[in-house]
Structure 1
Amino acid sequence: MSTDEWKKRVEAEWSLQGAPLPDSLDWKSIYEAKPLGRNLLKNPAPLGMSKDTPPPEPEYHDMPMRGPPRYQLDGDFTGWTTSVEILPYDTSGIPQGAVICELPRLSWFSMEQVVDLKAEGLWEELLDTFQPEIVIQDCYEESQVHQSIYQLHVKLLGADKSTVISEHSVNPTEDLSTYSHTWKEVSHVFCNYGPGVRYVHFVHRLKNSFMRELYPTKFTGSSVIVRPVTTSS
């Protein structure tokens, strides 16, 4: 199949009529990379869970687990950069003079990835002129560890990886008076973001609690998907 035939195949199958399709690009390689419509994040579910199945109920052991504190979930975090921030003890609700035997220790567990859009098969003219939608999705468990258990910050970056062209943050407050123990879905669509986008920086943080054993907040279904559509405004 010729380069022109590969280009026409890309245009037809991905509904890119009207989008810039330069003759200089390797359309066979772009077609095989399938950059549009697939999840560009690596290892989107490192805990091995699916949003189609309810999160498992927390395990409470008859005998407390012994050993040093654990502030990170067990999982395969290949593809992610992870870090832990241990938070100071919260004594705000304890009456003065009360005897404290033990307090839970809270920590943020952060995971981040940087998606190189050109390396994934997208091309500059498409990103700068057509500006397809960049869809962010994520799911976190209603763990009730704390009122604030989840944060998301996504930035669209320029070629220098430091220029922020657009960004979106999520920092919900949980209602601890109800408990449904379900996945909560977070989503955002970047559109009309302007020229120059080359990278997507995806960061989310989950809060864990440790008191003799780990009580984590789980997550799954993280995704960055470029859709072959635009949104006019």
Structure 2
Amino acid sequence: MSAVDWRKKCEAEWALQAAAMPDGVDWKSVFEARPLDRNLLKNPAPFGLSKDSPPPEPELSEVPPHGPPRFQPDGDFTGWSTSTEVLPYDTSSIPEGVVVCALPQFSWFTLEQVVDLKAEALWEQLLDDFQPDIVIQDWYEESQLHASIYKLHVKLLGTDKTTVISEHSVSPTEDLSTYSHIWKEVSHVFSGYGPGVRYVHFQHQVKNSFLNDFFPTRLTGSAVIVKPVKSGP
């Protein structure tokens, strides 16, 4: 099949008649890579859970394990860079003179990943001129551990990986008055972001708690999807 035929297949696959499709692109590789309408994140469910099933209820031991403090959850974090920040004890709400036997200690667990858009077979003219929508999705467990248990920060970066062309942050506050142990969706669409985007830096954080036993907050369904549409200006 000729280069022109492969370009036409790509054009038909994603209805990209309005996007620049120059001759210098390897359209066979683009078609086989299918960079549009698929999740570009690696290992989007590192805790081995699906948003289509309810989060598992915590398993409480009849006898507290009394082991050393633990601050990082179990999971397969292949493809992610991870780090843990142990937070100091919060004693602000304890009245003066009250004796407290034990307090929960919280930690933030951070997972981040950088998507190289050109390495995923997206071409410069598409990113710079057409500027397709870049859709961000994530699901986190409403763990009831704290009023703040989840943060998301996504940046669209230039060629040098440091220039921020557009960014989006989310830090919701949880309602602890009712028990709602469900998956909660977070999403955002980058559109009309301007030329120069080459990388997507995806970072999310979940809060964990330790009090005799370890209680995590988990994630699933993380996604970065470039859509063959343009909804921005």
1:66 Cα offset (Å): 3.2
Distance 2:104 2:229 in 1: 47
Change (3 A) 1:132 1:103: same
> Are 2:159 and 1:159 equivalent residues in the alignment?
yes
1:232 Cα offset (Å): 3.8
1:157 Cα offset (Å): 0.2
RMSD: 0.7
TM-score norm. by structure 1 comes to: 0.98
Aligned to 1:83: 83
Amino acid at match of 1:229: V
Aligned to 1:6: 6
1:146 Cα offset (Å): 0.4
Amino acid at match of 1:13: E
Amino acid at match of 2:45: A
**Residue deviations 1:54-73 (CA, integer Å, cap 9, x gap):** 10011111111232221111
Distance 2:119 2:61 in 1: 47
Paired residue secondary structure (1:31): helix
Where do residues 1-233 of structure 1 align in structure 2 (5 Å cutoff)?
1-233=1-233
Paired residue secondary structure (1:4): helix
Amino acid at match of 1:193: Y
Return structure 1 stretches of 4+ with deviation > 4 angstroms: none
Distance 1:232 1:87 in 2: 40
Amino acid at match of 1:155: K
Distance 1:228 1:132 in 2: 6
TM-score norm. by structure 2 comes to: 0.98
Q: What residue ranges of structure 2 are gaps of 5+ in the alignment?
A: none
Number of equivalenced pairs: 233
**Residue deviations 1:87-125 (CA, integer Å, cap 9, x gap):** 000011111111121111000000000000000010000
Distance 2:60 2:67 in 1: 16
1:34 Cα offset (Å): 0.7
Amino acid at match of 1:130: F
**Residue deviations 1:147-202 (CA, integer Å, cap 9, x gap):** 00000000000000000000000000001001121000000000000000000000
Paired residue secondary structure (1:13): helix
Amino acid at match of 1:191: S
Amino acid at match of 1:133: D
Distance 2:178 2:205 in 1: 22
Distance 1:53 1:97 in 2: 46
Distance 2:198 2:189 in 1: 16
Paired residue secondary structure (1:61): coil
Distance 1:45 1:183 in 2: 13
Distance 2:6 2:85 in 1: 49
Distance 2:18 2:107 in 1: 49
